A = this chain, B = another copy of it.
Amino acid sequence: MPADQTPDPSGGDKISFRDVKAEIRRRIERRIWGPGDLVPGEIDLAEDFGCARATVNRAMRELTEEGLLERKRKAGTRVRAMPLRQARFEIPLVRAEITAMGAAYHYALLSTQTVPAPDWLRDRLGLRAGARALHLRCLHSADGRPYQFEDRWINLQALPQAETADFALQGPNEWLVQAVPYSEVEISFLAAAATVDVAAALGIEPGEPTFTAERTTWWQSRAITHVRLSFARGYRMTTRY
């Protein structure tokens, strides 16, 4: 049995949770169930659709996660008056992003240095005074054109093995993904004016609007890395939902 189906105890044609979702969505779209309306209970719907209660439960749960329904512990399930919108962005490795466009990926390490963590970084990562950090500057290119400039700091207290790793051939992001299997991330997107450093790396003018991501990563409650990614002129981050 495929993982996305629930057994139908009647033994007839299987009604999948996808069928139930589609039908509920249709009722909301057609205003058969209007904004704010109470939705019938799972038992009634299961009977109505001729399927298992678990099938209705999964459909309702996903429609709730998608922001169309609202479940209250004791007050039942309602159609959301204002559907909640949630956009999801996949954050691929830059190599995968570039090769997915059909372009040739090239990585270059511009500089690497072990230094005492500057104050702003110590604040950001919660490091003690005098803590050392590895500072890396890298350029990722697509078909020979600059695509993303990476300005990265790694906390050497948390990941001492980074100091002896060779980042000449492999980018620090790929190294980190292998060194740290799972992590908590805070990411921000902003529009920044290109600094002289960023402009030189990307081949743009200082001050040019630059799509920028700042990401801090924790593993087992310790900050391990902070990175500022500056994207080439014209970059757009797009998704559908």
Contact = CB atoms under 8 A, between A and B. Distances in A.
B186 A238 contact: yes
A191 interface: yes
A182 interface: yes
Contacts of A185: 85, 87, 240-241
Contacts of A88: 86-89
Contact of A238 (B25, B187, B236, B239): B187
A19 interface: no
Copies in the complex: 2
Interface in A204-241: 208-212, 220, 234-241
B190 A237 contact: yes
Contact of A90 (B84, B220, B234): B84
A82 B61 CA distance: 28
Nearest to A34: B181
Contact of A93 (B29, B82, B178, B193): B82
Nearest to A238: B188
Contact of A29 (B71, B83, B190, B220): B220
Contact of A182 (B68, B93, B235): B68
Interface residues of A, number: 54
A11 interface: no
Contact of A35 (B181, B192, B212): B181
Given A85-B185, A182-B29, A186-B240, A193 B209 contact: yes
Given A57-B3, A209-B210, A235-B190, A182 B83 contact: yes
Contacts of A91: 85-87
Contacts of A237: 188-190
Contact of A89 (B31, B86, B182, B212): B86
Interface of A: 2-3, 25, 28-29, 31, 35, 54, 57, 61, 68, 71, 73, 79, 82-93, 177-178, 181-182, 184-193, 208-212, 220, 234-241
